[in-house]
Amino acid sequence: MTHATGQVMPVILTVTFPDLLFFFLAGLILACSVLVAFSRNIIHSAFCLLGVFTGVAGLYGLLSANFLAAVQILVYVGGVLIIILFAIMLTRGIQDARHSNPSNGLVSACVIGAVVAVVLITIAIGFPWKIKPVGEVASTIPGIGDALLGHFLIPFEVLSVLLLAALVGAVHLIRKEIKSEEKGEGQG
Amino acid sequence: MNLTLGLQHYLVVAALLFSLGLVCILSRRNAIGLLMGIELVLNSANVNLIAFAHFVEGGISGQVFALFVIALAAAEAAIGMAVVLAIYRSFKDIDISLTADLKE
């Protein structure tokens, strides 16, 4: 790219494509998370969670974390959201979904949330972060692989044990309840 | 005037996401709604981690940590939903105000 040195750049608000994308994704995330927090229908909340997860994946892409964006889609949209939808379907009938998501203490919760938001935003804007100069943005996948099997090897292995324990624990929680229910039915 | 996206933009989005998740956790009576609030909070933490990894010195550790958080969130969701289903089987409802008793 060549720079025209003689020309004077006009003083206008130059908005590049990543900026537009950022504001679109931020709007999507915040609108959807407002609906997740305040919708009275739990199905609507679950589908707005889809918007939050995909918007956050887009932000990861903007932050040059391409691997994390893919993992976000795979794990959150493909895993967590499906688990949540399954749990909704298994616990509540679709027909009474309209008033399925009551809230109480909404005013005090909103006050606490607003205070926390103000404090966090004040810190985020006011603190002198040590910003590094933006250099060449490269793919981070080799770095993540090296870190996971190098410096972070022990936490990585502990995490795999934790996932196995979570799997066994979830199965155990469900299985025990079914057994006791069957016993109760047999007695009655 | 040139608009450049900085660290602060991402931190503000993450802060608002965190606060909405907190409101969701504090106000919901449906246990699944509560778990959705927890997912919002974990996502906002991840946005912060990856924004810091991108804008602040410190190498790749932020992204690796975000990966750990995602794995922990998946485990938490699985266990949380199992607990919700167990609560539903014993109380026939997932209103968490019913579950204040330790024993039926």
Query: Same structural domain for residues A119 and A70?
Result: yes
| Closest C-alpha among B80, B42, B102 to residue A169 | B80
Q: Does the distance separating the beta carbons of A84 and B36 come in below 8 Å?
A: yes
Say what the pLDDT of residue A163 is: 92
A55–chain B Cβ distance below 8 A for any pair: no
Angle A158-A163-A169 (CA atoms, 0-180°, nearest 5)?
120
Residue ranges of alpha helices (H) inside chain A are 17-38, 42-62, 66-72, 81-91, 106-126, 141-148, 153-187
In a domain? residue A20: yes
Query: Same structural domain for residues A109 and A166?
Result: no
Q: List the structure tokens of A88.
A: 């909704």
Query: Same structural domain for residues A42 and A115?
Result: yes
Query: Same structural domain for residues A118 and A158?
Result: no
**Contacts with A53 from chain B: Cβ below 8 Å:** 43
Query: For residues B90 and A19, what is the distance between their CA atoms, to the nearest angstrom?
Result: 50
Say what the pLDDT of residue A186 is: 46
Q: Which of A125, A154, A171 is the last residue of a domain?
A: A125
List the single residue in B26, B55, B56 with the smallest CB-CB distance to A109: B26
ipTM: 0.89
Q: Is the Cβ–Cβ distance between A127 and B6 less than 8 Å?
A: no
Q: What is the pLDDT of residues A114-172, one digit of tens each?
A: 999 999 999 988 888 877 776 667 778 888 888 889 999 999 999 999 999 999 988 88
Distance from the Cα of B103 to chain A's closest Cα (Å) equals 15
Query: Same structural domain for residues A106 and A158?
Result: no
Query: Same structural domain for residues A116 and A145?
Result: no
Instruction: Give the domain ranges of chain B.
Output: 7-92
In a domain? residue A135: no
Query: For residues A60 and A66, what is the distance between their CA atoms, to the nearest angstrom?
Result: 7
Query: Same structural domain for residues A34 and A117?
Result: yes
List the single residue in B6, B18, B61 with the smallest CB-CB distance to A147: B61
Query: Same structural domain for residues A97 and A168?
Result: no
Query: Same structural domain for residues A107 and A66?
Result: yes
Query: Same structural domain for residues A121 and A163?
Result: no
pLDDT at A181 over 80: no
Say what the pLDDT of residue A2 is: 46
Supply the CATH number for residue A115's domain.
1.20.120.1200
Q: What is the pLDDT of residues A29-87, one digit of tens each?
A: 999 999 988 888 888 888 999 999 999 999 999 888 889 999 999 999 998 999 888 88
The residue written with tokens 């959705």 in the block is B36
Q: State what percent of residues in chain A have pLDDT above 70.
A: 77
Q: What is the pLDDT of residues A87-109, one digit of tens each?
A: 888 876 555 555 556 677 788 88
In a domain? residue A130: no
Query: Same structural domain for residues A16 and A69?
Result: yes
Mutation target for B interface from A24, A45, A48, A91: give the one with most B CBs within 10 A: A91
Say what the pLDDT of residue B48 is: 93
Say what the pLDDT of residue B50 is: 92
Query: Same structural domain for residues A37 and A109?
Result: yes
pLDDT tens, residue order, chain B (104 aa): 456 778 888 999 999 999 999 999 998 888 888 899 999 999 999 999 999 888 887 778 888 999 999 999 999 999 998 888 888 887 777 777 777 776 65
pTM: 0.84
If one counts the domains in chain A, the total is: 2
In a domain? residue A1: no
- Residue in chain B closest to A139 (alpha carbons) equals B60
Say what the pLDDT of residue B56 is: 85
Range of the domain at A69: 12-125
Say what the pLDDT of residue B21 is: 93
In a domain? residue A6: no
Say what the pLDDT of residue A187 is: 45
Assign domain B7-92 to a CATH class: mainly alpha
